[in-house]
């Protein structure tokens, strides 16, 4: 049988190790790497000519929503639709189809710039 002091030390060591693991101590030794990034377009994908339609973009890194992500957005064909000055709405100009490109600008989240290509159609 173990002496009392040795068994108490062993018990405290086990409790301390369990507490460290429960607090995420293992994350300290996890290798650093890029987070998985998801860009989600929230809005209409079919617009009516001469209309302005609001939209929003949600960005998640590793499953956690990013607050105020820095985004670069553009239309593949500005003659079909373009972004308004506030960059929060799409202005449909002529009948056709084009792609809304959305790119996250952040070197902290990932090693390459994640991009979303959302197809947008403009109808009469």
Q: What is the pLDDT of residue 96?
A: 96
Q: Is 106 exposed, middle or buried (0-12, 13-18, 19+ CB in 10 A)?
A: middle
54 and 83 in contact (C-beta within 8 Å)? Answer: no
The model's confidence at residue 118, banded by pLDDT at 50, 70 and 90, is very high
Q: What is the pLDDT of residue 61?
A: 83
**Residue 100: is its pLDDT beyond 70?**
yes
Q: Which of 32, 45, 90, 35 is nearest to 65 (CA)?
A: 35
pTM of the predicted protein model: 0.68
**Residue 110: is its pLDDT beyond 60?**
no
Distance CA 23, CA 16 (A): 11
Helix/strand/coil (H, E, C) string of 19-66? HHHHCCHHHHCCCCCCCCEEEEEECCCEEECCCEEECEEEEEECCEEC
Query: What is the per-residue pLDDT across 56-89, written as a single tens digit (0 to 9) for each?
Result: 999 998 888 988 889 999 999 999 999 999 999 9
10 and 2 in contact (C-beta within 8 Å)? Answer: yes
Query: What is the per-residue pLDDT across 24-63, written as a single tens digit (0 to 9) for each?
Result: 655 556 555 566 888 999 999 999 999 999 999 999 988 8
Query: What is the per-residue pLDDT across 5-30, written as a single tens digit (0 to 9) for each?
Result: 777 787 788 777 777 667 665 555 65
């Amino acid at each position: 049988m173990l002496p009392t002091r040795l068994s108490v030390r062993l018990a405290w060591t086990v409790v301390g190790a369990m507490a460290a693991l429960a607090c995420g101590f293992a994350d300290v030794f996890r290798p650093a790497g890029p987070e998985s990034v998801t860009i989600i377009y929230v809005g209409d994908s079919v617009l009516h000519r001469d209309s302005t339609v609001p939209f929003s973009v949600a960005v998640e890194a590793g499953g956690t929503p990013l607050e105020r992500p820095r985004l670069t957005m553009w239309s593949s064909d500005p003659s079909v639709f373009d972004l308004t000055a506030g960059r929060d709405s799409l202005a449909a100009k002529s009948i056709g189809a084009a792609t809304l490109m959305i790119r996250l600008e952040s070197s902290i989240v990932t090693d390459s710039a994640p991009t979303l290509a959302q197809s947008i159609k403009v109808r009469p």
